[in-house]
Amino acid sequence: MARARTPRSAPAPRSRWRRRIVVTLQILIGLAVLALGALVIAVYVARSQLPSFDELKSSPNGQMIRVHAADGSIIASLGPSYGEWLPYAQIPGVMRDATVAVEDRRFRSHPGVDPIGIARSVQVRYERGRWIQGGSTITQQLARNVFLNNQKKFGRKFREWILALALERKFSKDQILELYLNKMYYGGGTYGIDAASRKFFGHGADRLSIAEAAVIAGLVKAPSNYSPTADVDAAKGRAGVVLKQMVRAEVITQGQADDADVDDLRLTPEKQQNSARYFTDWALPQLDTLIDETTAPLEVWTTLDPAMQRAADVAVRENAPAGAQGALVSLDRDGSVRAMVGGKDYVASIYNRATQAQRQPGSAFKLFVYLAALEAGHKPEDSIVDEPVTIDGWSPRNDSRRNSGSVTLRTAFAYSLNTVAAKLGQEVGFATIADMARRFGITTPINTHPAMVLGTSDVRLIDMTRAFASVANKGVAVTPYGITRVTANGQEIYRHEVDRSRVLVAPYVAAQMTDLLQTAVNTGTGRAAQIGRPVAGKTGTTTSLKDGWFLGFSSGLTTGVWMGRDDARPIAGLHGGTAPAKAFAAFMKPATASRPIEQFETQVTLPEWQLEPDEETYFGQPDAETGGQMVDADGNPLPQQSPDEQAQEGEEGPRAAPTAQPQQQLDDLIDRVTGRDAPARDDRREPSGRDDSRPVPPVVRQPLQRPLQDDRPTQ
């Protein structure tokens, strides 16, 4: 008979839990081994792909551009700033100790990632509810700075750990610290301790003091907050924290920390932005079309003359009327830009009025009218009748509101007679004048309405200056340029070549135009631009006194000046022959002082006026209705006189000058005839290369009424 089977007893609950724990541990250990294996593989794969130490030394954090003036001096440093690379042995011990003490006290003992630092970071996160400390080591910061970004994501953090471990496997601690101190960003656009030391303290990092090292070491945590250029007090306060950490790390004594008084540190003052930035803002964007290099540090050599730039800055600031802006461009005979001022203050306004602003040039545009007329066969001695004229319903008037009868082209240009310009425009064709302006480099749209002869189309100052420079260059095109050569890592990658092949007008046309321009400066509206040597130029004043221009050349240098308000509101007393012409002279006198005096191919010829004894009676007194407003030495309108006062003055003579001299009477007459473009009276006795004792009245008592010649040669 079979015995009954006894059932097995169930395992004890404790035994089941032990078995589960063992299995779980085995799984975790297996996973840990796999993870460790994957980590080791990842680290060594990353190690194999890391650049060499020399490659890391030479790789930039961004493209740096240093701009040199014509004399080799540095006028601007743009982009990241790098100092000299300091090998580990040349880095001051206090700089190394300060960095390790404040950024990574266990730098010498951890493998690239500090578990203690990570645990402390997690603890602070749990206590504060947000991440306060990252626990990053020096090696991690280097990996992030060179290979990654600052995004606070776990995926980026994991890659950072892998790279840090790989860096520790490939490089020594000394090499890692050397890379760190030479490549980290320290604020103010500086990378590396040497650049930071030079920017903030004015000397290289090889001779940093304890206090200076503490300031620089404290910048890495938050360069924008602790930079001395941003907040001096914050920088010094952070330096105090670094000194305390150095005492805790026992790399300095408390006595040394007390002696390192950061409050006594003398920081190098920040360089002020000056007007040369107008030039660099115009020139440097051209690099995109000149070179292909986008990573290597660049040395850019330019045409800017520092002495001329300073003179231009002073000339604009001291002569621009109150509330007005000013701009100046000066070109050498080959087109090289020697000075450029785009406004009275670059810090207040970076808008470059020399290259960006488009304003009406007024009578300065007559350059193209007379160039077209001369090319069509006219000569400076040709006669033309200054008389009322109407063209397609448009009736221009002279600034003097008078007509002078038969005059030569030279006289008409010298005194900027609008009716003559209109008649010339009608004869040669307004489209022909527009084509001439485009030929000479005007890049803005040009209308072909009859009034265009008086400069109603907007132009840029640099384009107008270019046109005058081409006339000075005997009709050969001049193209403004600012960059002469560019080097990258010591190798020349670009050199400018001047193009002298484009002839715009025949040399005799340019010579005749220069003849007219000389007359305008010697006896016409541009006399305030005289500088004691031959000058040729032209004034320009727009309607309602919104813009004043003077453009001219002497001794191989062509300079254009514009003045006006950015909102195009009128400015009392602003005429091309006053403030702009004075600024031209104030700049050109020092700018040409070291250049030989150059005579033009055509000697200046004075207008042939007929002097009549009763010229003042013939022309009468200026009045408000005709707009013949008198101006003072600054170009400001003088009070109008009543008829009784005028009669009394006619009987008794001027009260301020009862015994006026003949030359003064002539000066007064010229004021009234030439109107608003007349320069200030006290500026008319500059050397002009002629005998000023010979009276030159500006108009004819009895017009000759000679008709235009019909048999003039044409081209």
Q: Which residue has the higher pLDDT, 581 or 232?
A: 581
536 closest CA partner among 477, 467, 595, 478: 467
More confident position, 324 or 14: 324
Q: What is the mean pLDDT of residues 97-115?
A: 90
pLDDT digits (tens, 9 = 90+) for 465-492: 999 999 999 999 999 999 999 999 889 9
C-beta separation of 234 from 267 below 8 A: no
| Coil/strand/helix, residue 65 | strand
Sign of CA pseudo-dihedral 684, 688, 691, 697: negative
Averaged pLDDT score across all residues of the chain:
81
Q: What is the per-residue pLDDT across 514-570, written as a single tens digit (0 to 9) for each?
A: 999 999 999 888 999 999 999 999 999 998 899 999 999 999 999 999 999 999 999
Under 8 Å CB-to-CB from 349, ≥6 apart: which residues?
325, 343
* Mean pLDDT score, 664-682: 41
Greatest Cα pair distance, the chain, in angstroms, is: 169
d(CA 469, CA 369): 17
Q: What is the pLDDT of residue 148?
A: 77
Label residue 589 by pLDDT band (50, 70, 90): very high
If we measure between CA atoms, which residue out of 446, 483, 467 comes closest to residue 329?
Answer: 467
Q: Which residue has the higher pLDDT, 225 or 586?
A: 586
Query: What share of the chain in percent tops pLDDT 70?
Result: 78
Separation between Cα atoms, residue 380 and residue 604, nearest integer Å: 11
pLDDT of residue 151: 52
**pLDDT over 50 at 692, yes or no:** no
The phi, psi pair for 423, rounded to 5°, reads -65, -40
Rounded CA separation 242/237 (Å): 9
Tokens of 389: 């004229």
**C-alpha–C-alpha distance, residues 635 and 2, integer Å:** 139
**pLDDT value, residue 230:** 73
What the block records as the tokens of 545 is 């006194």
SS3 content of the chain, % helix, strand, coil (to 5): 45, 10, 45
- Highest mean pLDDT (candidates 440-449, 631-640, 695-704): 440-449
Residue 289 CA, distance from chain mean position: 19
Residue type for position 644: D
Whether the pLDDT of residue 24 is over 70: the answer is: yes
Half-sphere exposure of 380 (CA within 13 A, CB side): 24
Q: Which two tokens stand for residue 256?
A: 């040394």
Among 440, 397, 447, 441, CA closest to 419: 397
pTM of the model: 0.66
CA distance 178 to 305: 40
pLDDT (tens digit per residue) in 338-359 = 999 999 999 889 999 999 999 9
d(CA 669, CA 651): 18
